[in-house]
Amino acid sequence: MSSSANIKLSSRAAPRNTCSAEHRRQIFPHLSALCAHPNKQKPVPSRIHRRIFAAVIFAILLPTAARADAYVQGTLLAIHTKVQTTPISWLWNTVVTSYDTVHYDLRIWTGNQIYIAEYVPLIQPDGPLPTEWQTGRPISFRIEKRQLVIKLSYGNEIRTNLLRREPAHSP
């Protein structure tokens, strides 16, 4: 009796495939397009698909091409050092411990504009400045939103905060 029960369960577990291939293609047309048939030709991309693909590639590559040539040549007019002292602990109304943060204000002249940017070194309070930052020397930079990105001679970039722009009367 248990053997007949096993036979009935196994016949229920394996459903029969009574549909023909043509019938399945009519019911599920989207699935037939996914099947790889050796006798069917693959769809050829239309002109519109090619143009859309070309437009997407162009939109991706355009910002990278524009960014490479976006550097402007300027002259470093001055470097002003500012030290900000921040108290850490107090004893009555006397500062007991504090730390100093050094900020450098850079004045860069190009054409008819003077850009004033603030640079805060990562190493405080005695963070080194790049050796090429000397007054009167040329400097390459670009502007991104509220930042002035300065290109260094060895290929790296330093990001500074753009504080303001002023019209240049004479350097």
The string of DSSP codes covering the chain is -HHHHHHHHHHHHS------HHHHHHH-HHHHHHS--TTSPPPPP-HHHHHHHHHHHHHHHHHHHHHHT--EEEEEEEEEEEEEEEEEEEETTEEEEEEEEEEEEEEEEETTEEEEEEE--SSTTTPPPPTT--TTSEEEEEEETTEEEEEPTTS-EEEEEEEEEEE-S--
**Residue 114's pLDDT is what?**
94
Are 121 and 129 in contact by the 8 Å Cβ rule? The answer is yes
**Residue 124's pLDDT is what?**
81
**Residue 35's pLDDT is what?**
55
- The residue among 4, 10, 151 whose CA lies nearest residue 74 is 151
**Residue 148's pLDDT is what?**
92
Q: How many whole angstroms separate alpha carbon 136 and alpha carbon 85?
A: 30
Q: How many whole angstroms separate alpha carbon 107 and alpha carbon 139?
A: 11
Instruction: Give the pLDDT confidence of 111-128 residue by residue, as tens digits.
Output: 899 999 999 998 887 778
Contacts with 147 (C-beta within 8 Å, 6 or more apart), sequence order: 159, 160, 161, 162
Q: How many whole angstroms separate alpha carbon 158 and alpha carbon 152?
A: 7
Q: How many whole angstroms separate alpha carbon 17 and alpha carbon 19?
A: 6
Instruction: Kindly give the parts of the chain with pLDDT less than 70.
Output: 1-21, 23-25, 27-45, 63-69, 170-171
**Residue 11's pLDDT is what?**
47
**Residue 16's pLDDT is what?**
54
